[in-house]
Amino acid sequence: MPITQQGAFYTGNYRNLFKELGFSEDEINAKLEESWSDLFYGDPNVRIYNPLDEDKSYILDTGNLDVRSEGMSYGMMMAVQMNKKDEFDRLWNFSKTFMQHKEGRYADYFAWHCKPDGTRISQGPAPDGEEFFAMALFFASKRWGNGPAPYNYSEQARIILRACVHKTETGAGDSMWDEETKLIKFVPESTFSDPSYHLPHFYDLFALWADAGDHMFWREAAEASRSYLHTTCNPITGLAPEYANFNGTPAEPQPHGDFSHFFSDAYRVAANIGLDWAWFQKDSWQVDQCNRIQAFFRNIEVSNYRRYTIEGQAFNEPALHPVGLLATNAMASLASDGPEAEHFVRLFWDTPLRTGQRRYYDNCLYFFSLLALSGNYRIY
């Protein structure tokens, strides 16, 4: 996996795919600002951001009417990318106050979901929240500087990552990364992974900014995750399962369902690969992978998106989040060089934010894609 040093990390140049297709800077900026406004302050049928009190806010999972570490960390990433410090701090205050464990086996982890008033529904964490919290906090430190706790952003990020890596060895609980494979787990206690949790572009930055003693670990984790995605994405369709074993094979059915197929969680894999390529360009396989998944979906109408086996067989079960799937297919255009890349970017541009009950997940993925495709999902 040779380093080309052509990614934005090295050059400082972020592709604006909308501009490349002829949209003006004014059009692009207006769409970005309008989408931010709609999601954070818009109509109740679109908005996902909600103030709680004088210094806290939360992102509501509108389909389940709860607050998730996923959504809170996503909201913080959106806010730091948009240079919105007040919204960032309000989300962080909620997360820090209500969701982050102060003691016990989950100390410094975040309960994965709670009620809008902050009451925890489950105590256990979901590692995708921790990695997004840490990255958003590091970016906040770079953009705005550190303040007194809890706004000492970079140290807060290091505290989270320290727990993620070292709990098992200290006997304080279970780490979030498997010690042997350096792969992120589905939950700390699990013996399998979730391909959509793999963010090697974050780990390369953690290797610079986390505790000095962990820099080598994060470099190894980044390499391991890039290699892992080779094994878990189908070589023909490009589809990945929602859960997969550490050897890349689809995970066995779980008590809460069968997640061996391509469905909601797995949509994020294409987006993550696209952003990793945009930032680092370390793995040329990613170009072919994004071409594959776009070719698979090219002739399927968004309204006809389904659950699929990773071999591409459709179930008679509609996608719960078709707009989110379109958004991630479009974000794959950051890496793809095939004829479908332009199609998905244009189709995404012409698609509005989702409204209604299930809008939360779709619109989080939508906004990340909008940031990325406009060259505004940046390293700070």
Which active-site residues does the annotation give?
Answer: 70, 265
Whether 282 contacts 3, CB under 8 Å: yes
Prior bond of 250 cis (ω within 30°) = no
Count the Cβ atoms, other than its own, within 10 Å of residue 315. Answer: 12
Instruction: Locate 350 and state its tokens.
Output: 């012409």
> For residue 327, what are its two tokens?
């958004």
Distance, CA of 25 to CA of 29 (rounded, Å): 6
Beta strands in 246-353 (DSSP E): 306-308, 314-318
C-alpha R_g of the chain:
19
Other CB atoms within a 10 A radius of the CB of residue 239 amount to: 23
In the chain, the amino acid numbered 197 is Y
The three-state secondary structure class of 74 is helix
Contact 306, 318 (CB under 8 A): yes
Question: Which H or E run includes 342?
Answer: helix 340-349
